């Protein structure tokens, strides 16, 4: 339930072609450490270009973040996207809200994020395609850094010696 459907190195690897192959027309995207580094004030040029490519291909995109309202609103306005802050991932109500905003069915929607216990678990429970990206930073919060250690164990099958191969 916590393993993703797809592993990618970064959001830039979530191409319109990949989404078409997966039957996805709508994307819920996490903000911090997925689309933008948690310590960054602006998205990278690559992330903005990726987003334009998705939107130009007709993909619907909504930010679904557990981040603080002010930060999420700032990025949503800058990127021209609808967004939900303090969303409550992995709980079902968060994903229902995102789905309603996208207007796409579960079967045609993906959640793209950097965390197993919020993004992937929530997406899998909601019946969405889950796409895990390598986090852009180790995380700025203690609990995020602790969760990343557990995630590595899960992704490695419990073997501490092996690196994550995504």
The domain segmentation of the chain, as residue ranges, is 6-138
pLDDT at position 11: 95
pTM above 0.75, yes or no: yes
Judge whether residue 86 has pLDDT over 60.
Answer: yes
Comparing 17-21, 106-110, 132-136, 140-144, the range with the smallest average pLDDT is 140-144
For residue 6, list its beta bridge partners: 131
Q: Thinking of the domain 6-138, which architecture would CATH place it in? A: 3-Layer(aba) Sandwich (3.40)
More confident residue, 147 or 38: 38
Distance CA 100, CA 119 (A): 17
Which one, of 58, 43, 41, lies nearest residue 12 by Cα? Answer: 43
Sorted by sequence, the CB contacts under 8 Å of residue 121 that are 6+ apart come out as: 1, 2, 90
Q: What is the pLDDT of residue 125?
A: 97
Query: pLDDT at residue 74 above 60?
Result: yes
Q: What is the largest CA-CA distance in the chain?
A: 43
């Amino acid at each position: 339930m916590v393993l993703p459907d797809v592993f990618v190195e970064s959001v830039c690897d979530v191409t319109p072609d990949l989404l078409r192959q997966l039957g996805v027309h709508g994307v819920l995207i996490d903000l911090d450490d997925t689309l933008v580094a948690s310590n960054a004030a602006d998205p990278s040029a690559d992330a903005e270009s990726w987003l334009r490519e998705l939107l130009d291909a007709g993909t619907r995109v909504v930010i679904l973040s557990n981040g603080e309202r002010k930060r999420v609103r700032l990025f949503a306005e800058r990127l021209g996207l609808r967004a939900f802050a303090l969303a409550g991932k992995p709980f079902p109500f968060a994903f229902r809200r995102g789905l309603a905003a996208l207007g796409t069915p579960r079967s045609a929607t993906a959640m793209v994020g950097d965390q197993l216990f919020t993004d992937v678990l929530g997406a899998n429970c909601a019946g969405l395609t889950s796409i895990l990206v390598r986090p852009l930073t180790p995380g700025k919060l203690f609990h995020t850094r602790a969760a990343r250690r557990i995630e590595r164990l899960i992704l490695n099958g419990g073997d501490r010696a092996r690196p994550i191969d995504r």
